[in-house]
Amino acid sequence: MRTSRRRGRRRSLAAAVLALGLGLTGVLASAAPASATPVDITCLTGTRNTAYTPPLTNTPAPTHLQITDHFNCVSLLSGVSSGSGGFSVDVPSTSCLASVQSPLTSNTATYHWNTGVYSTITFASSTAVRAADGTVTVTSIGAVTAGLGIGQLATRITVEPNLNLTACFGDGLSETNSVLNSLVIAPV
């Protein structure tokens, strides 16, 4: 008699655990957009090249930035190990001088991953801080709007030093390269 009660309790417990698991699956699935598959792309190393047209000087002026990013990544869920992409943005007034620019206009970048898929990210919030030594740190926060990771949060941080300090006094600084370029895409 005891054995049949234990089996009955085990079956009831197993049924309750299964029901709870299915219920949680439904809750988690309804929390994300219908087409979203959670990904975990963490790119802590990478490079960025930013070209300025016209070149930056010590006099604030409008300029066009052409940006190219390359990343080395880790992702347990998607298999992504590297990616690259770029975007361009027009800045109404910037210079080589120390400044804080926030919020910058939103920008959209498409990154192509080594797995053959892509992620398009719209960065709605960006802040650029240019230090007295010319180093600019840009922090951008947005969301994946198409492709791998749609609906998920994206954070990008880039640090680009000005290694040609005299350029701003003459013809201008035409490009910078990063010492840090990171991107993280994670479920909300």
Give me 74's structure tokens: 């880790």
Residue 167 covered by a domain: yes
Same domain, 46 and 79: yes
Could you tell me if 69 and 109 are in contact, meaning their C-beta atoms sit under 8 angstroms apart?
Answer: yes
Q: What is the mean pLDDT of residues 28-49?
A: 71
Mean pLDDT of the chain: 83
Please choose, from the candidates 117, 60, 125, 57, the residue with its C-alpha nearest in 3D space to the C-alpha of residue 83: 117
How far apart (Å, rounded) are the C-alpha atoms in residues 9 and 132? 70
Same domain, 110 and 69: yes
pLDDT tens per residue, range 70-123: 999 999 889 999 999 999 999 999 999 999 988 777 899 999 999 999 999 999
Band (55; pLDDT cuts 50, 70, 90):
very high
Residue 142 belongs to what H/E stretch?
strand 136-147
Residue 36 covered by a domain: no
Residue 169 covered by a domain: yes
**Helices and strands per DSSP (H, E), number in the chain:** 1, 10
**pLDDT score, position 1:** 53
Same domain, 88 and 68: yes
pLDDT tens per residue, range 5-27: 444 433 333 333 333 333 333 33
**pLDDT score, position 103:** 76
Domain hosting residue 15, numbered range? 1-31
Same domain, 62 and 130: yes
Same domain, 74 and 19: no
What phi, psi does 75 have (nearest 5°)?
A: -155, 115
From residue 76, alpha-carbon distances to 6, 38, 73, 145, 151 in Å are: 40, 11, 10, 21, 19
| Res. 31: pLDDT tops 50 | no
Same domain, 58 and 85: yes
Same domain, 141 and 120: yes
Same domain, 84 and 169: yes
Same domain, 2 and 54: no
In 41-81, the DSSP E strands lie at 41-56, 61-74
Which pTM does this prediction carry?
0.77
- Number of structural domains the chain divides into: 2
